[in-house]
Amino acid sequence: MDIDMPVVLTWAVMISGGLWLGDVLLLKPRRQEAAVALSDGGTAKTDVDRVLREPAVVEYARSFFPVLLLVLMLRSFLAEPYQIPSESMVPSLEVGDFVLVNKFAYGIRLPVLGTKIIDIGEPQRGDVMVFIPPHDPRYFIKRVIGLPGDIIRYENKALFINGERATYEFVEQFEERLPFSRGSIPIREYLEDFGDGVHSTYRYSFTEQPREWEVPPDSYFMMGDNRGKSGDSRKWGFAQASNIVGKAVAIWVHKEPGLHWPTFSRNQWLD
């Protein structure tokens, strides 16, 4: 089950802040009036202090509200951690990598709603971007391939952007064992360059039909670097500008699935 942390934090801030504010405006004045009445009647100071004491739930709300608000502001407007759940961005990002997502690189957005309130920048070709795809409410992470107005063609496992073929440099070939089988499939690693930086991609031996897309306004064509294991814009369409979460800028920690300690062996800035 995926937990939507922005929603959880927003509700936690609203509830804790509401409890604290309600106490300040309604309950605390009543306690003070009751304490004054008891004092005038000669009641012992210990009893007066007991009347003035905040309810436990209000005390907790007052203590947690500023902390929760600070965390919400940091995650919403500055940076947010994100864990890589699948192999779609291998070899650039591995399962278990925790990446830092710059939340203001593409503009300041309201938490939960995602409405842009301050325009700072736009996604660039080659960026590794976190976003919400059109078919799934969860966060996805892919590489920006096509910008609004671009013509993208994918043929023979090669990218063509506005009629120009990306350049490729062969790195190596290796075998990957198929699950529940004694067989394996050859995979080739290439360095791909489409004019905005070089990154590694994996190609599989199975065939794919050539296809072509024109990127609509306020949309982006997204692809994983592990082309044979990535569900991306080739399958479900375009990422909408209104559903952008932020730009992935660094790997800050890595943890293998299961009972393993986190390590910093893969710490690096992303291209």
Residue 88 known to be catalytic: yes
Q: Is 100 helix (H, G, I), strand (E, B) or coil?
A: strand
Alpha carbon of 200 to those of 90, 124, 143, 146, 193: distances in Å?
A: 8, 18, 11, 17, 9
Alpha carbon of 185 to those of 5, 96, 125, 188, 210: distances in Å?
A: 38, 24, 30, 10, 21
The count of C-alpha atoms lying within 13 angstroms of the C-alpha of 49, restricted to the half-sphere facing its C-beta, is: 3
Among the listed residues 16, 76, 92, 142, the single catalytic one is: 142
**Contact 230/111 with Cβ under 8 angstroms?**
no
> For the segment 205-238, what is each residue's pLDDT rounded down to a tens digit?
887 889 999 999 999 999 999 999 999 999 999 9
Least confident of 111-115, 145-149, 263-267: 111-115
101 Cβ contact partners less than 8 Å away, ≥ 6 residues apart? 79, 80, 81, 82, 130, 245, 246, 247, 248, 249
Amino acid 178: pLDDT: 75
Q: Which residue type does 178 have?
A: L
> For the segment 192-207, what is each residue's pLDDT rounded down to a tens digit?
998 878 999 999 888 7
169 Cβ contact partners less than 8 Å away, ≥ 6 residues apart? 190, 191, 193
Amino acid 1: pLDDT: 41
Q: Does the structure show a pLDDT above 80 at 5?
A: no
Helices 28-40 and 45-52: angle between axes, nearest 10 degrees:
170
**Averaged confidence pLDDT in the chain:** 89
> For the segment 76-129, what is each residue's pLDDT rounded down to a tens digit?
888 888 989 899 999 999 999 999 999 999 988 887 777 788 888 999 999 999
Cα separation, 35 vs 43, in Å, equals 9
Cα separation, 264 vs 157, in Å, equals 33
Among the listed residues 88, 92, 219, 233, the single catalytic one is: 88
